[in-house]
Amino acid sequence: MVVVMLPYHSPSNSRLPLMEFPPQQQIAADDDLMDIILHRCVELLTIRDFAKCRVYAIACRKMYSRHLWPLQALAVADVLAAGKRLANGHPDWYAILLAEKYAQLDALRSNFMKLIYLLDPRANKFPFSHSAMESVMMAWRVLSDPTSKEKYDMEVAAPATFYTLCPYCHYIIEYEFVYKDLCLQCPIC
């Protein structure tokens, strides 16, 4: 007997009911459950709730490892969630390619090829797959060229800072390193 319990938030109920299926009906029930989960992923992508969509896609991928659809939904959610801007206004191209900061070209190429396969709008019918694909293409365009990658890395690198203690108010203040040997006035005093 198979027992399945997944989180499902809707106005009418807060969880999917506990479902028990005899073994001969398991295949049909599995397909129905996968359809329910993937439909919920589509709803969450439509309202741009990428974190919850990711949770459902991971649960579906664990249950149905042979299907490509959960991986496609997960790729769309991950890429679009990573599309936020950094503090200096630049997009985080490494996060869009689902790679570590300052990753080497081989790792970037591997992630790029996987994402291109999963996000191809001809095969991926999830909402926003086309915009996720465009983000991946732009990230690859910047990070695959050594000169633009170096320029991007320099622009997004955090400026070196140092801390100093104000002798009057005793607050610790952080300044950029360019002010290291200058006489500084405390912004609080």
Percent of the chain with pLDDT over 70: 83
pLDDT value for 79: 94
Which tens digit of pLDDT belongs to each residue from 145-162?
999 999 988 888 777 777
pLDDT value for 2: 39
**pTM for the full predicted model:** 0.69
Q: Positive or negative CA dihedral for 29, 124, 85, 146?
A: positive
Which tens digit of pLDDT belongs to each residue from 168-189?
888 888 887 777 777 778 887 7
pLDDT value for 32: 80
The domain locations on the chain are 2-156, 159-189
- Residue 9: is it exposed, middle or buried by C-beta count within 10 angstroms (0-12/13-18/19+)? exposed
pLDDT value for 26: 45
Q: In which residue ranges of the chain is pLDDT below 50? A: 1-28
Which residues, 6 or more positions from 100, have their beta carbon under 8 angstroms from its beta carbon?
Answer: 94, 107
pLDDT value for 15: 42
Superfamily of 2-156 according to CATH: DnaJ domain (1.10.287.110)
pLDDT value for 29: 52
